[in-house]
Structure 1
Amino acid sequence: MEIAGFIEALRRDGEVLVDSSVRAGWDTLVPTCPEWRVRDLVAHTGSVHRWAVGYLDGKTEGRPIEICAPDDVDALADWFREGHLRLLNRLTTAPADLECWTFLPAPTPLAFWARRQAHETAIHRVDAESALGGRPREFTAEFAADGIDELLAGFHVRSRSKVRTEQPRSLLVQTTDTASDTGQPSAWLLHLSQEPLRVEQLTDTGSVSADCTISGSSPTVYRALWNRGRYEDLDVTGDPSLVELWRRTSAV
């Protein structure tokens, strides 16, 4: 996806997130994040937006995310909208050759932050919709497949990933709605061991085999891998213990 596509997704999902949160109510529990109420969800996402703006302003050293939301819940929606708009403006006006801190591979720092904030907001938009009790607005196949790729080939190849097995195992993740001629991965072969994941990005599974295979539409797989969807909605073959392992250990 292009940077402009990520920015537009971020714009839409941020608006849906805050609108759904206001309608759900600040004290409503978030089913997809049981430790949070809606106010915690909005405080977290709004703080992440402001954290990202710091790097888009040129910060070159990583620092922890600090929750900086107002204590007054009546001010929370406007506070979120202001930070969301500031993030959108920074992404839109930042120079293409921006140099700043990042933490996952990307063509450029600007491309990294556009992608990361789009998916951060998308997943938390699903959280807000779960609190409201409605069916989440569907993702496009292109966006969802990109989010799968970021999660598997970005986050979980890092040393901090807890998805490990004592004996080498393999898990194949496939999407059924991603065209192979786009060059975008439509399958990911995960090699699990006592070391961090090794991930093969595939455009054609051909004769690939694995101990367990999960497949489905890109949006369904995207939500499931982020533990925001039901694995019952996917086609799972082989050893189901690897799906349970992912559920238990894959939180980012």
Structure 2
Amino acid sequence: METAEFVEIVDREGRLLVVAAEEAGTDAKVPTCPDWQVKDLLRHTGMVHRWAAGFVAEGHTSYHPDGGLPDLDGDELLAWFREGHRHLVDSLASAAPDVQCWHFLPAPSPLAFWARRQAHETTVHRVDAESARGAAQSGIDPGFAADGIDELLRGFHARSTSKVRSDEPRVLRVRATDTEDAVWTVRLSQEPPVAVRDATGDADCEVAGPVAQLYLALWNRLPFPHVTGDGAVATLWREKSAVTWS
């Protein structure tokens, strides 16, 4: 996917998120994040938007901490979120393609990284907001969902910070049933997971289903659609794969 496509997704998903949050109310519980109310979701995502925009707009070439969570609620919080989201979209859309700034996963360029990362960040949290509202959820494009699985398996969990470890070597296969060539083999060990986009070799466990459902399941927003083989491997993923803010 091209950077401009990711920027369009950040724009659309952020607007969907805040509409769902407003309709749910900031005190509503977030079923997909049981410890959160909508106010927590808005504070977190709005903080991340501002943090990400800072690298692109200000060209920070080393890590900079986030600005913390605001002590806002209600209409003030919604307005604060909208302002930060708009700043992020504008920063991504207006940045020079060769802008140099810090980023934390391999990417064709820093701008490509931040546009992609914030597209997936905002989409997953839009799903959270819509779960709090309780109405029908907006869809996720299959190609975008497959890209998000790539980012999670071959980006986030390739890092030394991944907690998905197994004392004995295990193999998890992730297979989309509605998207051609969307299958991943994830080798688990005492080291960070190693994922490749193919179906080479035997697997101890396979999780399968529509790619958008797999995307959300791997981010622990939905149960796995279908599990075959050793379910303990899928359970290991559920229990150890959470990506938390630090």
What range describes the TM-score normalised by the shorter chain of this pair?
over 0.9
Q: How far apart, CA to CA, are the structure 2 residues paired with 1:216 and 1:239? A: 17
Question: Is 1:133 aligned with 2:129?
Answer: no
Cα drift, residue 246 of structure 1 = 0.8
Unaligned runs of 5+ in 1: 181-185
Hey, what's the Cα distance between the residues in 2 that align with 1:135 and 1:230?
17
Contact 1:56 1:94 in 2 (8 A): yes
The whole-number CA distance in structure 1 between the counterparts of 2:201 and 2:11 is 38
- Percentage identity across paired residues of the two chains: 52
Asked if residue 227 in structure 1 is aligned to residue 229 in structure 2, the reply is: no
Count of residue pairs the alignment pairs up: 242
Q: Find the aligned partners of 1:40 and 1:16 in 2 and give their Cα distance.
A: 17
Task: Give the Cα–Cα distance (whole angstroms) in 1 for the partners of residues 162 and 147 of structure 2.
Answer: 19
Distance verdict in 2 for CA 1:72–1:176, change over 3 Å: closer
Equivalent position amino acid for 1:43 in 2:
R
Unaligned runs of 5+ in 2: none
Query: Is residue 175–residue 217 contact of structure 1 (8 Å, CA) maintained in 2?
Result: yes
What code does the residue aligned with 2:184 have? Answer: W
Indicate whether 1:167 and 2:142 are aligned. no
Q: Which amino acid aligns with 1:44?
A: H
Give 3-state SS (helix, strand or coil) of 2:197's partner: strand
- C-alpha change, 1:72 and 1:236, in structure 2 (3 Å) is closer
**Cα deviations across residues 54-89 of structure 1 (Å, max 9, x unaligned)?**
100201111333334342432111111111111111
Cα deviation, 1:89-148, whole Å, max 9, x if unaligned, reads 111110010100000010100000000000000000000011111232110100100000
Q: Is the CA contact 1:191–1:198 (under 8 Å) kept in the aligned structure 2? A: yes
Partner secondary structure for residue 191 of structure 1 = strand
Q: 199, 204, 208: which one pairs with 2:201?
A: 208
> 1:46 touches 1:69 (CA, 8 Å); kept in 2?
no
2:187 alignment partner in structure 1: 191
CA-CA distance at 1:201 after TM superposition: 1.9
Is 1:251 the counterpart of 2:231? The answer is no
- 1:13 corresponds to: 13
Partner of 1:183: none
C-alpha distance in structure 1 between counterparts of 2:67 and 2:239, whole Å = 26
**Quick one: distance in 1 between partners of 2:185 and 2:37?**
36
> Deviation digits for residues 216-249 of structure 1, max 9, x if unmatched?
1110100100011122xx2211100011111111
Question: 8 Å contact 1:41–1:128 — kept in the other structure?
Answer: yes
Give SS of 1:222's match.
helix
**Distance across 2 between alignment mates of 1:72 and 1:219:** 32
Aligned-partner residue type, residue 190 of structure 2: Q
- Contact preservation (8 Å) 1:51, 1:65: yes
1:184-242 residue CA offsets vs partner (Å, 9 max, x unmatched): xx11111101111111122xx3x6320001111110100100011122xx221110001
Match of 1:44 in 2: 44
Report the TM-score when normalising by structure 1. Answer: 0.93
Instruction: Please say if residues 212 and 238 of structure 1, whose CA atoms lie closer than 8 Å, have aligned partners that are also in contact.
Output: yes
* Structure 2 residue 106 is the aligned partner of structure 1 residue 105: yes
Structure 1 residue aligned with 2:31? 31
3-state SS, counterpart of residue 159 of structure 1: coil
Contact 2:39 2:73 in 1 (8 A): no
The answer to whether the 8 A contact 1:10-1:118 is kept is: yes
